[in-house]
Chain A
Amino acid sequence: MAISLKSLPEEEFVAPGRGGCAGCPAVLGARMASKVLGKNTIQVTSTGCMCVNYGYYAATRFPFVHTLFENAGSIISGIDAALKARGEREGINLFAYCGDGGTVDIGLQALSGAVERGHRFLYICYDNEGYMNTGTQRSGATPPGARTSTTPVSEISPGEGRPFRRKKDMVRIMAAHGIPYAASASLAYPLDYLRKIKKAIAIDGPTFIHLQSPCLNGWGLAESQGVAVARLAVETCVFPLYEVEEGRVLNINVKPREKKPVTEYLQVQGRFRHLFTPRWQGEIAKFQAEVDRNWEMLLALEQATGSRGNQ
């Protein structure tokens, strides 16, 4: 399942001149995916940044459907069934590329149904941790302590409150369905991301990749910082890279030699700036504690279930 940058096609499958924000990691993730998926692809994207990006004036050189907000999972189910009924399913990569709002919140039911029924498709959630297309409102994927326009920061509000200190864990939610393949991925680790896509589309069944996709505007980053922040998320174990097969076998793909403190990840983002003021600095230790607990849990799960060397 090895993949190299040199093996990717020169050809572009999306027309230039899109309206995305400069340096947008979600656009980058979609373009990288298209290099593995190629032209024999049908893509659906629920309401969000990428349907704006691809849907205005028709960008793609493969069929593309902008679904409603919550029904990417069910529309892709219907496409899969129709292609099977017509005897035309083979050789087509059926692919959903949807934001966290359309995945972890309003689209969770349709996606859960689609994977539970065993339809064949790859679903990539580009997680920018909020409703960024409508101007940075919080979602079920917004991390604790983040400032959004619906979780403002004040003397009495630390931003997103998150009583259980963690955002929805979509990879494990998907893996709990017992689907063949669920993984997390990062733009800072492109070969790992592309390998996972290639692995997923070879599987005759539902597969899921959760791609962290920093939002430059929403997170308060410079245009050049998207990938760098994604790398910090992995190096601090805020966003660990791992994969789960058959809902049982968990392998961690990247283990930082030295786990960096979460402050390195938080301090470069405008949305966490208030955590470095006296009023809210106590939140950082809680953030670190949850990251540590989650990382320890993943290590334990890998120890118990993992099969090294299957990559």
Chain B
Amino acid sequence: MTRCFISGSMAVAEAAQLAGVQVIAAYPITPQTGIVEALARKVATGLLGAEMIPVESEHSALSAVVGASLAGARAFTATSSQGLALMHEVLPYASGLRLPIVMAVANRSLASPVTIFNDHQDSLPERDSGWIQVYVENAQEAFDYLLIAYRVAEDAQVLLPFMVCLDGFSVSHTYEPVDIPAVELVNTFLPPFRANYPHLDLAEPKVFNVMAFPEHFEEFQRDKHESNRKVLGLLNEVYDHFARVFGRRRQNLEAYRVEDAELVLVGMGSMMGTVRGVVDDLRARGQKVGMVRMVCFRPLPVQEIQAVLQGAGAIGVLDRDVSFGAGGILYQDIARSMYNSQGKRVPAVNFIAGLGGRDVNPATIQKCFYRLASVASSGYITSAEELQWPDENEALLRAWGVGDKHGN
């Protein structure tokens, strides 16, 4: 085990190398470039004996990785934002072919207007593509989940592609101490690759991506769904093994100081480190607050969500994304999870913040908790209170006439 001072991008590249990826195809996009550059250096200097395909687009990046995985190789790609949007068509193709591809997504919002900065607007809308999705908090977690991703994706009862999402800049570009294990240790957790799924084999020729008519198509979809659901249990087994090998335990979600918490804030990604700090501050002042950090988002760990939130007096969901005309994407899933929970129904409020790289600072989080407290005291919420923008710039909203008539 070596402790290195590296960025999240470099941590991902280290993990890809230790996973022994055989084919890498990627197209550069900020803030993902650091991952691809680090891997290109490893291949160019012989540290990593992989084929690197410098494709001409992200659509081709994922397509090339699909081809490589079909041909029986452990394959990797990484992207961000517009690049992931361009891959959109290939995502369900890859999961339908049941290929254990792993992709790192350095989260960045989507144009227009143009931004290179972080939120979860790129990967969350891809939640329905059949891919497994996790959202990490820091570089170490990015490293760990890349290894976990291959292990789970390649499991015979899963065989689905896996997306490891790390916040652009705040994780991808931030240098942190990261423990990098020796390859021998990694091999005991993630054995060298053997294609254990239908692939391009001359000895046993098969046809891939056949036409399915209405009498069969639903069962293909159902199979993808059932396999995806199995990931939750498998992940917990894999976390045990990971902990035995590396001494750290990962989890589908992190519940922090929720045991007696009246107000709980739920969210994902690097901003949850700030939430943890605010929880400590407010606790020090005697306020019963807690935090749930979602890591595994697809499949959605409904029972685990219910277990950690059922004692709360009010739930706030902090979304770094927006489903326009509906509200936060994570909120929809948390609210849905609690609707059929055995406990009593409690008010839930959706906070949207941190879009396009806007800093989510302690004041933002405090505001969320205060508003949650006022909602909790009344015991119910109005539809106007359900969705809130804690960091809204009222002067700008007024000056720009946000939501007003735009045309002539």
Residue positions of A touching B, CB distance < 8 A: 39-40, 42, 44, 52, 54-68, 70-71, 73-86, 92, 109-110, 112-113, 116-117
Q: Which of B287-313 contact A (CB under 8 A)?
A: none
Residue positions of B touching A, CB distance < 8 A: 22-23, 25, 49-51, 53-57, 59-61, 63-73, 75, 89-90, 93, 200-202, 205-211
Residues in A neighbouring B67, C-beta threshold 8 A: 44, 65, 74-82
Residues in B neighbouring A75, C-beta threshold 8 A: 63-64, 66-67, 70
* Given contact pairs A55-B210, A62-B202, A113 touches B60 in the complex (Cβ within 8 A): yes
Residues in B neighbouring A56, C-beta threshold 8 A: 210-211
Which among A39, A67, A71, A84 has the greatest number of chain B C-beta atoms within 10 A? A71
Residues in B neighbouring A63, C-beta threshold 8 A: 200-202, 205-208
The answer on a CB contact under 8 Å between A65 and B55 is no
Residues in A neighbouring B57, C-beta threshold 8 A: 109-110, 113
The answer on a CB contact under 8 Å between B68 and A81 is yes
The answer on a CB contact under 8 Å between A61 and B210 is no
**Bound: A202/B206 CA distance, A:** 25
The answer on a CB contact under 8 Å between A68 and B93 is yes
* Given contact pairs A40-B202, A42-B200, A92-B202, A77 touches B210 in the complex (Cβ within 8 A): no
**Bound: A55/B49 CA distance, A:** 35
Residues in A neighbouring B64, C-beta threshold 8 A: 74-75, 77-78, 81
Closest to B73 in A: A82
Closest to B213 in A: A56
Ordered by A's residue number, 14 sampled pairs between the chains whose C-beta atoms are within 8 Å are: A58-B207, A62-B202, A63-B207, A65-B209, A67-B209, A75-B70, A77-B25, A77-B63, A78-B65, A78-B66, A78-B71, A80-B67, A81-B51, A81-B68
Closest to A58 in B: B207
Nearest CB of chain B from residue A99's CB, rounded to whole Å: 16
Nearest CB of chain A from residue B150's CB, rounded to whole Å: 16
**Bound: A263/B50 CA distance, A:** 56
Residues in A neighbouring B65, C-beta threshold 8 A: 78
Residues in B neighbouring A92, C-beta threshold 8 A: 202
Residues in A neighbouring B209, C-beta threshold 8 A: 55, 65-67
**Bound: A67/B75 CA distance, A:** 18
* Given contact pairs A56-B210, A79-B200, A117 touches B23 in the complex (Cβ within 8 A): no
Which among B23, B64, B65, B211 has the greatest number of chain A C-beta atoms within 10 A? B64
Other 13 A-B pairs with CB < 8 A, given A65-B70, A78-B67: A60-B205, A65-B209, A66-B209, A74-B55, A74-B59, A74-B63, A75-B70, A78-B25, A78-B63, A78-B68, A85-B73, A110-B59, A113-B56
Residues in B neighbouring A71, C-beta threshold 8 A: 59-60, 63, 66, 90
Nearest CB of chain B from residue A133's CB, rounded to whole Å: 12
**Bound: A73/B208 CA distance, A:** 16
The answer on a CB contact under 8 Å between B202 and A67 is no
Closest to B201 in A: A63
Residues in B neighbouring A52, C-beta threshold 8 A: 211
The answer on a CB contact under 8 Å between A64 and B205 is yes
The answer on a CB contact under 8 Å between B90 and A68 is yes
Which among B50, B63, B89 has the greatest number of chain A C-beta atoms within 10 A? B63
Closest to B25 in A: A78
Residues in A neighbouring B53, C-beta threshold 8 A: 77-78, 81, 117
Residues in A neighbouring B69, C-beta threshold 8 A: 78, 82
**Bound: A61/B68 CA distance, A:** 21
Residues in A neighbouring B72, C-beta threshold 8 A: 82, 86
**Bound: A82/B63 CA distance, A:** 13
The answer on a CB contact under 8 Å between A77 and B207 is no
Closest to A83 in B: B71
Nearest CB of chain B from residue A120's CB, rounded to whole Å: 12
The answer on a CB contact under 8 Å between B207 and A59 is yes
What are the 8 closest A-B residue pairs judged by CB atoms, nearest first?
A78-B67, A113-B56, A74-B60, A82-B71, A82-B73, A78-B64, A74-B63, A71-B63
The answer on a CB contact under 8 Å between B73 and A117 is no
Nearest CB of chain B from residue A64's CB, rounded to whole Å: 5
The answer on a CB contact under 8 Å between B60 and A60 is no
Nearest CB of chain B from residue A235's CB, rounded to whole Å: 38
Task: Choose from B22, B54, B208 the contact partner of A65 (Cβ within 8 Å).
Answer: B208
Nearest CB of chain B from residue A91's CB, rounded to whole Å: 9
Nearest CB of chain A from residue B234's CB, rounded to whole Å: 26
Which among A55, A65, A68, A116 has the greatest number of chain B C-beta atoms within 10 A? A65
The answer on a CB contact under 8 Å between B89 and A81 is no
Residues in A neighbouring B59, C-beta threshold 8 A: 70-71, 74, 110
Nearest CB of chain B from residue A50's CB, rounded to whole Å: 12
**Bound: A59/B206 CA distance, A:** 9
Nearest CB of chain A from residue B34's CB, rounded to whole Å: 22
Nearest CB of chain B from residue A201's CB, rounded to whole Å: 15
**Bound: A109/B60 CA distance, A:** 9
The answer on a CB contact under 8 Å between A55 and B211 is yes
Residues in B neighbouring A78, C-beta threshold 8 A: 23, 25, 53, 63-71, 75
**Bound: A63/B209 CA distance, A:** 11
The answer on a CB contact under 8 Å between B205 and A62 is yes
The answer on a CB contact under 8 Å between B205 and A57 is no
Residues in A neighbouring B68, C-beta threshold 8 A: 78-79, 81-82, 85
* Given contact pairs A58-B206, A75-B63, A109 touches B50 in the complex (Cβ within 8 A): no
**Bound: A35/B89 CA distance, A:** 34
Closest to A42 in B: B200
The answer on a CB contact under 8 Å between A66 and B63 is no
